[in-house]
């Protein structure tokens, strides 16, 4: 008997049948496909049909959960060690931004040894953000009581430079997806967790639980970023299907990259180390900072948040660092260039 002499079934037909019968999961879809077609042994085209139907179901289910969004209030949060002056300076400005838009703002400031003990056996302090995300999502009922629908992590060396921009604009652009994040400025990694906007949802809670448990990346570059990418791939979000992925490489996609639960923005839109016409010179003996503006190049600059990351001994258009970057001086120059006075910080 020919095992492929069954009834034809397209991915759309399988998708419709799965919706009606509430079937989910690849193995269950394979069985449903067998039941519908009479085919006992699935070959590669059959499996591709099942995979396509599974992708349609993921998008359908994700969209259904987005329709139920009740709150879009935002709670911002950060963390840094008590000896990190950059963190204090950025927190002052970021708190001003949060207050302007009615967002909550939380910060953990603690000794380095305490931070590392909290994330042990992980060996990179970036893991602390995952711990804080889990802490917030552990009591989603309380967040909803405060009408908070999204939590937003911001690295201690990242600062909001456009205070008129509302986080809700990104939330609306994402159509209320569970994760809003930017591409990394390093093409070796897909995502940058310097700024992460997380929807208060069960999907988010499970995602970050899995990220936290990803032992392979406890002490392996890019740490929690690599763990997040791995967990998103395991959920078949489809990031790896976009090639090239980064907007700044030749042939790269422009605009937001939308997946079932995730929106990935161009780095300039959310979290970038390019800042409005800023040129930083730190090579002289006194390590002086010189700033200049070039408004005609604004479209190449961070539109929302400047993140002082990955700019050591590099030359980038309109954000140039000569020599080893002094992060504190660089950030103070950025803040001064945007009219923020944090000399007392």
pLDDT of 181 above 70: yes
Greater confidence (190 vs 19) lies with 190
Instruction: Find all residues with CB under 8 Å of 243, minimum gap 6, and list them.
Output: none
Least confident of 167-181, 199-213, 293-307: 293-307
Instruction: Find all residues with CB under 8 Å of 330, minimum gap 6, and list them.
Output: 280, 282, 289, 308, 311, 321
Instruction: Find all residues with CB under 8 Å of 68, minimum gap 6, and list them.
Output: none
Average pLDDT, the chain: 85
Strand positions, DSSP E, 56-178: 73-81, 104-110, 148-154, 158-160
Angle between helices 202-212 and 224-234 (to 10 degrees): 130
If you search the block for the tokens 């070796």, which residue do you land on?
Answer: 188
**Token code pair at residue 155:** 């690295």
Structural Rg of the chain based on CA atoms = 23
Give the number of other CB atoms < 10 A from CB of residue 133: 24
> Which tens digit of pLDDT belongs to each residue from 222-260?
999 999 999 999 998 989 889 999 998 999 998 999 999
Instruction: Say whether 183 sits in a helix, a strand or coil.
Output: strand
pLDDT of 157 above 60: yes
**Token code pair at residue 54:** 């599974």
End-to-end CA separation in angstroms for the chain: 79
Q: b vs e for 57-76, b when ≥16 Cβ sit within 10 Å of the residue's Cβ?
A: bbbeebeebbeebeebbbbb
pLDDT of 1 above 50: no
For residues 300-328, average pLDDT: 63
C-alpha 33/C-alpha 248 separation (Å) is 41
> Which tens digit of pLDDT belongs to each residue from 50-73?
988 988 888 887 777 776 667 789
pLDDT attached to residue 296:
38
- CA 322 and chain centroid, separation: 29
- Global pTM value: 0.80
> Which tens digit of pLDDT belongs to each residue from 193-217?
999 999 999 999 999 999 999 999 9
**Token code pair at residue 198:** 């997380």
Q: How many residues are recorded in the chain?
A: 345
C-alpha 129/C-alpha 135 separation (Å) is 10
For residues 33-50, average pLDDT: 92
- What stretch of H or E contains 306? strand 305-307
């Amino acid at each position: 008997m020919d095992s492929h002499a069954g009834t034809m079934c397209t991915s759309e037909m399988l998708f419709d049948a799965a919706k009606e019968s509430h079937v989910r999961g690849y193995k269950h879809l394979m069985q449903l496909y067998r039941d519908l077609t009479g085919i006992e042994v699935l070959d590669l085209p059959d499996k591709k049909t099942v995979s396509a139907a599974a992708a349609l179901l993921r998008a359908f289910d994700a969209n259904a959960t987005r329709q139920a969004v009740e709150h879009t209030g935002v709670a911002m949060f950060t963390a840094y060690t008590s000896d990190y002056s950059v963190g204090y300076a950025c927190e002052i400005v970021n708190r001003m931004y949060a207050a302007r838009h009615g967002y909550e703002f939380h910060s953990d400031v603690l000794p380095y040894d305490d931070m590392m003990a909290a994330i042990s056996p992980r060996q990179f302090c970036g893991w602390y953000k995952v711990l804080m995300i889990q802490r917030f999502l552990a009591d989603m009922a309380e967040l909803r009581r405060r009408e908070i629908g999204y939590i937003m992590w911001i690295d201690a060396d990242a600062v909001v430079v456009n205070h008129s921009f509302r986080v809700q604009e990104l939330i609306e652009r994402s159509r209320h997806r569970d994760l809003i994040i930017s591409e990394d400025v390093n093409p070796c990694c897909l995502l940058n967790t310097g700024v992460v906007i997380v929807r208060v949802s069960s999907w988010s809670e499970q995602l970050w639980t899995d990220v936290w448990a990803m032992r392979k990346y406890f002490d392996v570059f890019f740490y929690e970023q690599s763990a997040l990418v791995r967990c998103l791939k395991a959920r078949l979000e489809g990031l790896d299907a976009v090639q090239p992925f980064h907007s700044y490489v030749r042939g790269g996609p422009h605009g937001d990259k939308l997946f079932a639960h995730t929106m990935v923005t161009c780095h300039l839109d959310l979290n970038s180390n390019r800042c409005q016409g800023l040129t930083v010179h730190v090579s002289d003996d006194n390590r002086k900072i010189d700033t200049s503006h070039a408004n005609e190049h604004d479209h190449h600059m961070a539109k929302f948040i400047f993140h002082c990351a990955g700019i050591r001994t590099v030359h980038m258009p309109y954000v140039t660092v000569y020599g080893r970057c002094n992060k504190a001086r660089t950030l103070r120059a950025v803040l001064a260039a945007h009219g923020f006075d944090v000399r007392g910080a």
